[in-house]
Every structure is written in C-alpha cells, then in structure tokens.
C-alpha cells in the first residue's frame, strides 16, 4: 500500500538561483536568464526538480531586485520577457518546475504606484502606501514613531512633495504597500501573481510573507537598544492581525484557479505554533515555509542584532534548531523546507562546519549528508553544491555591496566615532554573516573570473575559484558535486524515510557529533530506519549507537570516506539503512 501521491513540491529537490551572480551569457559582467538557461542540463543532472529564481523583475537594484519597479517585466540586465518565457518552457520540457520570487510587502520607490502616491494626499493612489504625519517635538519634525528599519535607521522616510512620512521596513527605496486597501490587494494579485501564473510558472517563494499586516495604530516600540533613536518593532509588524485573512483570500481568489500552486513562504521571527497556522494543509494559505532558527543561530534574529553581535553557536543549539524544523510538521498536515543557505545567509561551510582547506570538501559532503536526510522540501543554493565559502578575510569593506552590511558598518563607525578596534569588529562580523558572502559569482571553471563572465564581473569573484569550481568537480568522482548527485539519488530512493520520515536525535548534548535516525511507520518501511552519523570535529570521535540499532543488519548507503571504520574521522558522514 503506498500513500496517495504527495504534492509535487514535497518530494522535489529545489535549487535557488540569485541571477546577478549565477552565469553571465553576454559578457556584461552580470548573470542573466540566458546564462541560467544554459545550465539547465547541469541542474537536471544534479537531480534538481524545482528551480527558484530570485527576483529578475524590473528594478533599480537598491536591494538587488527585492525593490521591484514593474512586476510585469524583466529587468534588462537579466534579459527580456521572451527569455523568461523560454526559461519556463525549457524547465517544463526538462521536467522541472519554476518558482519565481514574490515580493509584495513593498515595491520600489520607482514603481508607478508609488510615484503617483507620493505626489499629494488626494491622488488616486494616495493611500496605496503607508503615509503618516510627522511628530512635532519642540517645533522639530520627527518620524511618526521610533520603529527601526530591518536594515537599520528609521523605518520612515520624509517626502517633501507630500509633506508626510512613508513606512519602509527595509531600505528607504522599498516603501511598504498598504495591504489594508482592497484595491491594493487586487492590483497585487493581478499584476504580481496572475500575470506569471498565466505565463506558466508553477509557484512562488514568497518574500517576508508575514509582514504585510501591521499594527495600524503604529505605536512606539519599547526601548531595548539603550541610547539609540530607533528601536526594533517586530512585535508590531510580524504576524500582524490580518495576515491569515489575506493569505486565505489570495489562495481562494487567485491561486485556486491554477491548481496546485506552490507558495513557499518566508516566515522570519515566528515560533513553531505560529508557523503551523500558516502551513497546516487545511488552512490553505502557504504550501511550506522557511524556518529561520538554524540560520539565525548565535544571534537574535530581527531584533536589532548587529552583524558583529552574532557569535559561534555550539552543536547542541544547532541540533535543537534542526530538531525544531524537523518536528514542526511531525504528525500534522503541514509541510516545511530543509536548507542551510540562501542569498541572505553566509556560506554553510563557514557558518556550520569548517572552511579549513584541509577539511573543506569533506565537510561540504558531511553537510550534504545532513540535508539529504532531512524531512521537508530540500533547497540548495547556487554554489553550495561545490562547497563555495565566505569572502576571504583579506577583503575589506570596499568589496561590500549589500546595503544591509554597509548600514551595519556605518552604524558602528558613527556610534563609536570611527574607533579602529570597533571597525575591525564590525568587519569581522560582516565576514562571518554578511549576505555578500553568498553573492559572489559562481565558479564554473578555473578560467579567468571562474568562467562566470567573459567581461568584468559586477562583483569580485572569490580568490579560491581555481580550487573550487564546477568543471574540476565534474571530473573528480569524489568531489562535493558528485557526492551531492549521489545523495539526492539516495534521498529520492528512500524518500519515505529521508523526505517524509520522523526525525530523532540520539546524542543531543554531544558537542562534536550528531547522530540521528529517520523512520516512517507506514508504506512498507515499518522495519527500516535511516541512521546518520555526522562529525563536526577536527578530532576522531566515537560512534554513538542508538540502542535499537545495535547488532542489527546495516547497509551503508553513502559516506564521505571510502571505508568507514570503528570511529568517525574528522568531519565524516555516513548513512546506514538499518533493518530492525
């Protein structure tokens, strides 16, 4: 007896493309859609079923495409609408699905809606964004409240023309849309969603999809950053009162017309119970979510934490965060995702394992083993499959492009009067967690600029491209790339356990190794378990055997060493199929 066919977005393996740094086809130094099209056979061979393309819409690129000035067009730097149509068709011809990024909490300040809205208080779109009067104190103009933007500074920007402030939770060039208005929601559904579903895309990764509904009384946030003017106000804009109503409306009025549309939501700053309210199948809101506990380890996500305030976590905290993500959906109708990287995060090798050249490749395979065995839709980020690492320590602030990091750096500079030791700390933090770490161009081969472009790359290519690149790894059977291929195959073959199984950690408090099992008491797998051993250490570690697996028949499915022995060598990984 096998289960009813699960939704396509549950079993599929997804790959995220951040277009500017993926592959350049025309030598202008910027990745583009034709570049992506040229690599579809590569993705297919890797075992990818779903491509998630980060924003390629028309945009002034103040937040690298997450500031959209026209939902219905492609930015010329990435190509044309015809290129996008070709991408949709080629993905489908090859049996792959395509997700676009849906960025509808805000638009660009260059979007025609905003250009009209900002003119005065009476135009047709006057209320399409969130406008408030200044607060006057001692005759001086101040923002309406003390909210801090997620990227630092005030969340309000003054517009002289209109004589009011508008709200922007991200950079000032990203004004927040006023979701409270019916006609705004209808315009979004029409232009940002239906337009693309009509052209054939299969779903969306939904940007910050728990921020649309704000506390409309816009109260001041409590002071937690002493001595600072602007305070984290997440409590007033994350998971606001009308979120569920709107997501349901979107599903019923729009998505349902198109069948099983995947909506992979980003839910920062949300605890497990709250997450379920968005993804339980019966609520019919999101298909699945990205939970951020793992990637936020060592910091206080979204609560005004500065880059240099993120510290190295210990392995039990990592296991706890993975366990939360794994248990989220257990015994429920809900679904989640497994991922360690995206365009907003540092590289997983640096963050969760080691980038030491001695162990780098082995550790990349170890992390691939972990991800390959986790419940949820698996998302791989460009370059992760070859073990790309963070920007080199020798790079300074001049290589940083991202406003998030630049603001953080300038904030420290300003607050501490340019004190060099503070600046060093700020830079160390940026090297550790900056988004730019994931945004350096992908290394396709060992030729100049890593084969990313024949022109001048828009962003500096990592110095290590001669050592870490796709072409060399293709040729080497024991490369991270070839390991990923094998791991994805195993994940598919044993999907009942790897993709759908129940997760159990056996050595929670061990600081150097991670032992977990996956089991599924149905579909003929009652007497089988996947048993995974992972080392997170430079030293040899003993194996921790779960009691019920001891002395049982074990078949080795995959390992990053040729002949696994009695102990775990540094950064070793192995997966056994145990017959109970």
Q: Which residues of this protein are in contact with ligand TEU, per CB under 6 A?
A: 63, 66, 103, 150, 170, 207-208, 266, 268, 343-344, 404, 435
* 109 binds Ca ion per the rule CB under 5 A: no
361 binds, among ligand TEU, Ca ion, none (CB under 5 to 8 A by kind): none
Which C-beta is closer to ligand TEU: that of 200 or that of 302? 302
Nearest approach in angstroms of CB 266 to ligand TEU is 6
404 binds, among Ca ion, ligand TEU, none (CB under 5 to 8 A by kind): ligand TEU
Going from the C-alpha of 77 to that of each of 34, 73, 109, 462, the distances in angstroms are: 11, 12, 19, 22
Q: Using CB under 5 A, which residues numbered 17 to 76 contact Ca ion?
A: 24, 26, 28, 30, 32
Hey, is 533 helix, strand or coil? Answer: strand
Nearest approach in angstroms of CB 459 to Ca ion is 13
Which C-beta is closer to ligand TEU: that of 269 or that of 372? 269
Q: Which residue number places its CB atom closest to ligand TEU?
A: 66
Contact 529, 517 (CB under 8 A): yes
The angle formed by the CA atoms of residues 324, 205 and 492, to the nearest 5 degrees, is 65
Which C-beta is closer to ligand TEU: that of 52 or that of 483? 52
Nearest approach in angstroms of CB 570 to ligand TEU is 31
**Residue in the block written with tokens 């199984």:** 501
506 binds, among ligand TEU, Ca ion, none (CB under 5 to 8 A by kind): none
What's the half-sphere exposure (Cβ side, CA atoms, 13 Å) at 175? 25
> What is the C-alpha to C-alpha distance for residues 57 and 69, in angstroms, rounded to an integer?
8
Identify which of 509, 579, 569 has the alpha carbon closest to the alpha carbon of residue 543. Answer: 569
Strands 131-132 and 57-58: unpaired
Which C-beta is closer to ligand TEU: that of 125 or that of 343? 343
User: Residue 576's Cα: distance from chain center in Å?
Assistant: 29
Nearest approach in angstroms of CB 268 to ligand TEU is 4
List 101, 207, 291, 344, catalytic entry: 207
Q: Which value, to the nearest 10 degrees, does the dihedral of the CA atoms of residues 221, 222, 225, 229 take?
A: 50
Token digits for 212? 């649309």
> What is the C-alpha to C-alpha distance for residues 308 and 281, in angstroms, rounded to an integer?
39
Which C-beta is closer to Ca ion: that of 32 or that of 285? 32
Token digits for 494? 């044993």
268 binds, among Ca ion, ligand TEU, none (CB under 5 to 8 A by kind): ligand TEU
Query: 385 an active-site residue?
Result: no
28 binds, among ligand TEU, Ca ion, none (CB under 5 to 8 A by kind): Ca ion
Which C-beta is closer to ligand TEU: that of 108 or that of 479? 108
Supply the Cα-derived Rg of the chain in whole angstroms.
Answer: 24
List 24, 109, 266, 512, catalytic entry: 266
208 binds, among ligand TEU, Ca ion, none (CB under 5 to 8 A by kind): ligand TEU
Which C-beta is closer to ligand TEU: that of 347 or that of 435? 435
49 binds, among Ca ion, ligand TEU, none (CB under 5 to 8 A by kind): none
Nearest approach in angstroms of CB 386 to Ca ion is 21
Report the residue count for the chain: 580
**Residue in the block written with tokens 């969603």:** 193
Kind plus residue range of the DSSP H or E element containing 505: strand 502-505
Nearest approach in angstroms of CB 392 to ligand TEU is 20
Diameter of the chain by CA atoms?
79
Quickly list H helices, 202-298: 234-237, 243-253, 272-279
What number of other Cβ atoms are within 10 A of residue 249's Cβ?
16
Query: 510 an active-site residue?
Result: no
Nearest approach in angstroms of CB 171 to ligand TEU is 8
Contact set with Ca ion (CB under 5 A): 24, 26, 28, 30, 32
> Which residues are marked as active site?
207, 266
């Amino acid at each position: 007896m096998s289960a009813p066919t699960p939704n396509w977005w549950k079993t599929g393996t997804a790959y995220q493309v951040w277009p500017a740094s993926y592959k350049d086809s025309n030598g202008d130094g910027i990745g583009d859609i034709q570049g992506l099209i040229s690599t579809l056979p590569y993705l297919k061979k890797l075992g990818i079923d779903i491509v998630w393309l980060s924003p390629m819409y028309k945009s002034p690129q103040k937040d690298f495409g997450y500031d959209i000035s026209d939902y219905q067009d492609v930015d010329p730097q990435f190509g044309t609408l015809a290129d996008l149509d070709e991408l949709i068709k080629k993905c489908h011809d090859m049996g792959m699905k395509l997700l676009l990024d849906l960025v509808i909490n805000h638009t660009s300040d260059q979007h025609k809606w905003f250009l009209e809205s900002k003119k005065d208080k009476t135009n047709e779109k006057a209320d399409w964004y969130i406008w408030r009067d200044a607060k006057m104190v001692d005759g001086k103009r101040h923002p309406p409240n003390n909210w801090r933007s997620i990227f630092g500074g005030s969340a309000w920007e003054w517009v002289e023309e209109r004589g009011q402030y508008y709200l922007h939770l991200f950079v000032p060039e990203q004004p927040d849309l006023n979701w409270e208005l019916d006609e705004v929601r209808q315009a979004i559904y029409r232009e940002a969603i239906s337009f693309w579903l009509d052209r054939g895309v299969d779903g969306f990764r939904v940007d910050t999809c728990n921020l649309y509904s704000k506390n409309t009384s816009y109260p001041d946030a409590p002071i937690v950053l002493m001595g600072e003017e602007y305070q984290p106000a997440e409590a007033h804009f994350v998971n606001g009162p009308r979120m569920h109503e709107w997501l349901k409306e979107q599903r019923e009025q729009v998505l349902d017309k198109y069948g099983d549309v995947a909506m992979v939501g980003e839910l920062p700053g949300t605890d497990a119970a709250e997450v379920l309210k968005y993804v339980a199948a019966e609520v019919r809101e999101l298909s699945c979510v990205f939970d951020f506990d793992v990637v936020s380890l060592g910091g206080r996500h979204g609560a005004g934490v500065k880059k240099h305030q993120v510290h190295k976590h210990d392995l039990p905290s990592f296991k706890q965060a993975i366990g939360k993500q794994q248990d989220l959906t257990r015994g429920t109708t809900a679904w989640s995702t497994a991922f360690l990287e995206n365009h907003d995060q540092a590289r997983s090798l640096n963050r969760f394992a080691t980038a030491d050249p001695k162990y780098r490749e082995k550790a990349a395979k170890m992390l691939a083993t972990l991800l390959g065995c986790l419940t949820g839709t698996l998302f791989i980020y460009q370059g992760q499959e070859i073990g790309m690492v963070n920007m080199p320590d020798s790079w300074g602030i001049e290589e940083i492009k991202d406003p998030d990091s630049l603001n953080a750096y300038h904030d420290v500079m300003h607050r501490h009067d340019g004190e060099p030791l503070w600046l060093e700390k700020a830079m160390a933090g940026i090297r550790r967690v900056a988004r730019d770490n994931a945004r350096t161009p992908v290394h396709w081969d060992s030729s100049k600029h890593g084969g990313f472009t024949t022109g001048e790359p828009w962003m500096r290519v990592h110095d290590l491209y001669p050592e870490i690149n796709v072409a060399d790894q293709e040729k080497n059977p024991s490369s991270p790339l070839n390991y990923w291929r094998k791991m994805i195959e195993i994940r598919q073959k044993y999907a009942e356990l790897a993709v759908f199984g129940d997760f159990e950690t056996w050595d929670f408090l061990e600081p150097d190794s991670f032992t977990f099992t996956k089991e599924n008491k149905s579909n003929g797998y009652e007497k089988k378990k996947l048993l995974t051993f992972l080392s997170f250490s430079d030293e040899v570690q003993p194996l921790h055997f779960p009691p019920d697996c001891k002395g049982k028949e074990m078949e080795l499915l995959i390992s990053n060493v040729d002949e696994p022995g009695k102990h775990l060598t540094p950064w070793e990984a192995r997966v056994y199929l145990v017959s109970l």
